[in-house]
Amino acid sequence: MRQAGRYLPEYRAIRETADILEVCRAPDLAAEVTMQPLRRMPVDAAILFSDIMVPVAAMGVDVRIEAGRGPVVDDPIRSATDVRRLHSLQPEAEVPFVLEAIALLRKELEVPLIGFSGAPFTLASYLVEGGPSRTHERTKALMHSDPEAWDRLMGILGHSMARYLRAQVEAGAQALQVFDSWAGALDPDDYFLFVLPTMRELFGSLADLDVPLIHFGVGTGELLPLMRDAGASVIGVDWRVPLHVAWERVGFDVAVQGNLDPTACLAPWASVEKKALTVLRRAAGRPGHVFNLGHGVLPGTPVETLQRLVDLVHERTEGTREWAG
């Protein structure tokens, strides 16, 4: 995730001329930014340049993305009445530019293209809190005080993301990733009751597409077995749980993605190398490990470190790499 971004001067140059949502809404710009990291290093897949809030902004809420802060919703969703302001997403009519960017990219790319969406809980958190939150307290308050409104909110987000992800595959995406970045804020009981049913429905509805489905979260150590039950084929793990421990928690019959700490890439190369080799050692050559950072690339990351990292992982996994699709 966030393979493109501020660590690349060519990305910053585009962002000087356009707001991030403008980039997302212009197929040629979105395609160009998607390609930028691939011109710098031979990664094995491209991730579409967009943002998790792009489809939500088309569903009846005003969203902007503030640099250094994240998504902001001035008129948040806090009640059953507010939930009614959201309409179900019609991807072809309301976010055609995303599908056009995918079509453009498929003509240019030599590696698989990953489409994505936010997961309902993470999207709900931005909608209910009105912006990034450390505690997610208003979101949890809604979930516990008005479970009916919560279910309706999760339902509309779940259906909309299911349609959005399907439309991305129909446009040419060859794998899908669902980002539940803030699910780790929940205890396993609340995750089980208030989030898992929607995730099961979401992944269940995509199963017929026959593309790899990646389920990503941050701080989800205690939720991993429940995430496995949600039904994706690949579970993303951050750096807080050693890879082999996380893999055992989800079961060796599903694939795992991760899990180098992104801040490790700010350190001198010798320490990046050591940590990357630790991840590979823990994967132990089992089939079904997607090497990745445990979260997005940080803006201050030297491009050269990422280039060396890609080369190192390629060197050490030579002859064993395969595309899960």
Q: Which residues are catalytic?
A: 2, 6, 15, 51, 126
Which among 13, 69, 59, 63 has a CA at the least distance from the CA of 36? 13
- To ligand CP3, the closest distance from the beta carbon of 209 in angstroms equals 19
Q: For residues 292 and 261, give the distance between their C-alpha atoms in angstroms, rounded to a whole number.
A: 9
Q: For residues 98 and 167, give the distance between their C-alpha atoms in angstroms, rounded to a whole number.
A: 9
Nearer to ligand CP3, 56 or 255 (CB): 56
Packing angle, helices 137-145 and 120-129, rounded to 10: 100
- To ligand CP3, the closest distance from the beta carbon of 294 in angstroms equals 10
Residue 116 binds ligand CP3, judged by CB under 6 A: yes
Residue 228 binds ligand CP3, judged by CB under 6 A: no
**Interacting residues with ligand CP3 between 189 and 208 (CB under 6 A):** none
Q: How many residues make contact with ligand CP3 (CB under 6 A)? A: 24
Q: Which stretch binds ligand CP3 (CB under 6 A): 3-11, 185-193, 202-210, 278-286?
A: 3-11
CA distances to 8, 17, 25, 100, 310 from 22, in Å:
18, 10, 5, 14, 30
- To ligand CP3, the closest distance from the beta carbon of 243 in angstroms equals 19
For residue 68, the tally of other CB atoms under 10 A from its CB is 6
- To ligand CP3, the closest distance from the beta carbon of 179 in angstroms equals 4
Q: Provide the β-strand partners of residue 271.
A: none
Q: For residues 243 and 258, give the distance between their C-alpha atoms in angstroms, rounded to a whole number.
A: 7
Nearer to ligand CP3, 6 or 314 (CB): 6
Residue 68 binds ligand CP3, judged by CB under 6 A: yes
Nearer to ligand CP3, 244 or 263 (CB): 263
Residue 36 binds ligand CP3, judged by CB under 6 A: no
Residue 3 binds ligand CP3, judged by CB under 6 A: yes
Mark residues 148-187: x for contact with ligand CP3 by CB under 6 A, - for none: -------------------------------x-x------
Q: DSSP string covering 112-148, please? A: -EEEEEE-HHHHHHHHHHSS--SS-HHHHHHHHH-HH
Q: For residues 206 and 238, give the distance between their C-alpha atoms in angstroms, rounded to a whole number.
A: 24
Residue 317 DSSP one-character state: H
- To ligand CP3, the closest distance from the beta carbon of 80 in angstroms equals 25
Chain-centre distance of CA 217, in angstroms?
8
Nearer to ligand CP3, 138 or 316 (CB): 138
What is the contact surface with ligand CP3 in residues (CB under 6 A)? Answer: 1-6, 15, 20, 47, 49, 51-52, 65, 67-71, 116, 122, 179, 181, 295-296
